[in-house]
Structure 1
Amino acid sequence: MSDCATIDFCGEKLLAHPMGALFWPAREVLIVADLHFEKGSSFASRGVFLPPYDTRTTLKRLSALSRRFKPRTVISLGDAFHDRDAEARFDLEDSALLTSLIGAHRWIWVLGNHDAHPPGAFPGEPCAELTLGALRFRHAPGGDEPGELCGHFHPCARIRIEGGVQRRRCFASDDARLVLPAFGAYAGGLNILDDAFGRVFSARPNVWALGAGGVYLISDRLFVPEAGAPRLRAGA
């Protein structure tokens, strides 16, 4: 799969896809984080009007990955729904598409801070965290043991390239913990150089940036901080 990067993590080979998902071939598991369904309609309710198609876009991308990898299990690492009323704002077509996707797989909802309660309108298996083999699945970092996959932080990197700077969502790992990028169409991003990541990783992480045609391991010498922001101090 030439557009995927292989990440060796705690004895397992994981495929990182340019849409921001991981596929675990040995277990036939597709992993996504921070879908943030109905974020656009949440903003609209507060007078910030965005095109109301973020849920549809996110679902179509999930559907494409389902066709591509044919997973037996899908794990959503929390914050699938942007707020407690998000399910009620789904339109009928989006609701049918998500229900169909869930019905085609074993579907696991790891609960997050935006969706601390299990969904009421959609099936699936809710849990606070999940362990499969050597890997542990949580929304946010929750322990010191190796093998943790989580979301929550929406990592991205500002990368210096010839002619300018590009901002890209990214995967980040220090070999003990792997943080996924946000998958949702309207999910924002936190610069990988932010001090928050110094408290997540015990060592400077490897970073794989999402590109249009692949996922690329990027040297930290190319990272650009936000204006006026301090650089990451691993272990801080």
Structure 2
Amino acid sequence: MSGTKADGAAVDDGVVDEVLAELAGLEDPKARAVNERHGDDHGVNLGKLRALAKRLRTQQELAYRLWATDDSAARLLAILISRPKAFGREELDTMLRESRTPKVHDWLVNYVVKKSPHAEELRLAWIADPDPVVASAGWALTTERVAKKPAGLDLAGLLDVVEAEMKDAPDRLQWAMNHCLAQIGIDHPALRPRAIGIGERLEVLKDYPTPPGCTSPYAPAWIGEMVRRQNAG
């Protein structure tokens, strides 16, 4: 993401420096320690970062400049103040491939790509990408379609791929495929027994530590709990 765009005036270097200084002032060593345990490399409390974004409001050109710093906190802020529909397909593809830390990757997919007119085209390209981090974004977009726009998806075919590949997939790709498996089981009763069966056979995330009161990411348990809540409601 670079260059001055027609939909926004050039941003003075001083403005960028001021925002970066404010982000630096939000640095919290305790937050950094927690984030680093999850693979992230910033120490800014996300609640304070969101408050800063709310104050700045949408500023597409400033978002471009912040993204170009290659700093994770600045990129998270860039995502929050950007205009999702302003990005071209190739821009989003490049940004996704630059997003190697989990939080930047997740926010880019959820807050920008999902709202983009290029989301479906990117979903199809990414889900087949040999880079597992990129592929995980494709699976995340597929899960969104399973939940909101399943028409036209080959759900049984998706289960075939999950059954064949999820067990040995790298962590982030495995997590994304598991979410898709669970979503199919939750939203599509005809495929629920098969989804649960796949989860039981593969046992992916079966022993994942889950705090009291939280839902396990183990697909059979996840499906069962969400269906129970649907029926109770």
TM-score (norm 1): 0.26
Tell me which protein shows more helix as a share of its residues: 2
Of the two structures, which has the highest relative contact order with CA contacts closer than 8 Å and spacing of 6 or more?
1
TM-score (norm 2): 0.26
Tell me which protein shows more strand as a share of its residues: 1
